[in-house]
Amino acid sequence: MSNSNRQPKLFLVPPVPDPEEGERRKEEAIRLVEQNTPYGWKVRANKALVSAARDLPEFTTDDIKQLMDVDDVPPEPRAMGAIVKAAARKGTIEKVKGKYRESTDPACHRRPKQVWRLSK
């Protein structure tokens, strides 16, 4: 097989066998996304998150995105995850333990997304 027929590597970083290191890398990535997301977008995303939490018994990031203007795309694909994680750390929302929904966002390829709810 020639090199031109090989499928490109999807992941440039080798898998991490250490779960603690994986968690550390995840938290660092979330912190960097939070730090580099424009303030105005974060305000609009938080407003949509609060609406979803108030109006829906359970929701995913897809539901939050649907409450935002269609042209108000996140500056980075993981930005909405950082918004949700920050709200969970503040105690505004909480995970519905063990509950996931397939994403309705075509870019997410129907992957399971965590379900959230307003904190009790």
Model confidence pLDDT, tens digit, residues 20-75: 888 898 889 888 988 999 999 999 999 999 999 999 999 999 999 999 998 898 88
Q: What is the pLDDT of residue 62?
A: 95
Which of 88, 87, 31, 43 shows the shortest CA–CA distance to 68? 43
Cβ-Cβ contacts under 8 Å for 77 (sequence gap 6 or more): 107
Query: What is the Cα–Cα distance from 53 to 51, expressed in whole angstroms?
Result: 5
Which of 110, 26, 9 shows the shortest CA–CA distance to 62? 110
Which of 100, 77, 80 shows the shortest CA–CA distance to 88? 80
Q: Which of 1.20.1070, 1.10.10, 3.30.70, 3.20.20 is the CATH number of 20-118?
A: 1.10.10
